[in-house]
Amino acid sequence: MIRAAIVGATGYTGAELVRLLTRHREVELVGLTSRQYADQPYTTVYPHLSGQVDLNCQTQDIDAVTDAADVLFLALPHGLSVPWVAACVGKGKKVVDLGADFRLRRAAVYEQWYRVTHEAPELLAEAVYGLPELKRERIRTARIVANPGCYPTASLLSVAPLCGQGIVREDRLIIDAKSGASGAGRNANVGNLYGEVNENVKAYNVAKHRHNPEIEQEVAERAGLDPDAMAITFTPHLMPMTRGILATVYADLKEGLRPSAEEVRDLYRQFYANEPFIHVMDEGVWPQTKWSYGSNHAFIGLTVEGRTGRIIITTAIDNLVKGASGQAIQNMNLLFGLPETTGLEAAGIYP
């Protein structure tokens, strides 16, 4: 059995990790940390998991938690992962960081967007960006996996088959994305109150969301472009729903190119042919967030708008599963040589 501990276990991604890992046949949960609920039964915080888990929450004692586990899942706010990652590396343990501290390969870019100094820039180079559909082989042998952000997961799955194909301007993508409120976590925040989210839709962090450089970094790498020359526009929106991300991507075709929608769809279907979690829809079928609710599956719809010379792609995922905890488990499966779908086989809940 793989002994797993979750640091920041009482947040939304932590709870989703517990829900999924208690059904994972190769995993034993050995540690769940929380400062606020230390020494209290985990099910006091999340009674819906009664009968699934009988651990108490424990304090964030780095040595004790790391020594007891084979793998750590870090589900902490930004800026707190470095001591945990350093301990895992020092003790020969694997770590999957659900936060952003190891996603951006250049410390200067991290510091520009997150406004904090990176305390272990020397570890950035070896962290692998954990999007299994794009980096499977590198993840298998990694020590540090940087689990992608929820919006970048949906955005990158939307455009990866086009990158480096000479078909679209990868540097000038426009991404319009919508998220459910659980994307902001369980912390108290006025913007997440019922009265603020219900019957309301709003864009936020326009032209300055920290997922912009993350998306640009990975698109540039796949397309063989200079990350500093990217001009991707990314606009997130908060939706009156609990879970789900729908990313709509507009990609300009290169001058003189007009592939048919079927040609582009064939490209996507070849690219994702052996991917158990990725589903490319037929023409005219547009993904809905509800299809992915509670599952690790991603649904991709696309067409070519001949009149404007653009390809339009929409991808639906669950931000807490493929956008966070499910993908983290997919990465753990790769790290430990398990079938990638282990513990993640279930379809979503519908309606």
Nearest Cα to Cα of residue 59 among 7, 4, 3: 7
Pick one of ligand NDP, ligand X2W, none as the site partner of residue 75 (Cβ within 5 to 8 A by kind): ligand NDP
Report the alpha-carbon distance of residue 294 to residue 323 in Å, rounded.
Answer: 11
Residue nearest to ligand X2W (CB): 183
Yes or no: say if 82 and 7 are a contact pair by the CB < 8 Å rule.
no
* Residue 179 near ligand X2W by CB under 6 A: yes
Residue whose CB is less far from ligand NDP, 214 or 252: 214
Q: Which stretch binds ligand X2W (CB under 6 A): 56-64, 164-172, 177-185, 333-341?
A: 177-185
Residue whose CB is less far from ligand X2W, 75 or 134: 75
Residue whose CB is less far from ligand X2W, 118 or 310: 118
Q: What DSSP character marks residue 74?
A: E
Neighbours of 162 (CB within 10 A): 26
Residue 120, judged by CB atoms within 10 A of its CB (0-12, 13-18, 19+), counts as middle
- Least distance CB 152 / ligand X2W (angstroms): 8
Q: Is 150 a catalytic residue?
A: yes
Yes or no: say if 15 and 98 are a contact pair by the CB < 8 Å rule.
no
Give the footprint of ligand X2W on residues 27-46 (CB under 6 A): none
Q: What is the DSSP string of 5-65?
A: EEETTTSHHHHHHHHHHTT-TTEEEEEEB-STTTTSBHHHH-GGGTTT--PBPB---HHHH
Residue whose CB is less far from ligand NDP, 213 or 280: 213
Query: By the criterion CB under 6 A, which residues form the site for ligand NDP?
Result: 8-14, 34-37, 60, 75-78, 80, 98-99, 149-150, 182-183, 185-187, 319-320, 323-324
**In the set 9, 238, 264, 298, which binds ligand X2W (CB under 6 A)?**
238
Strand partners, 234: 175
Residue whose CB is less far from ligand X2W, 10 or 303: 10
- SS3 state of residue 181: helix
- Least distance CB 199 / ligand X2W (angstroms): 17
* Residue 287 near ligand X2W by CB under 6 A: no
Residue whose pair of structure tokens reads 């793989």 in the numeric block: 2
Binding site for ligand X2W (CB under 6 A): 99-100, 149-150, 179, 183-184, 211, 236, 238
Q: Which residues does the annotation mark as catalytic?
A: 150
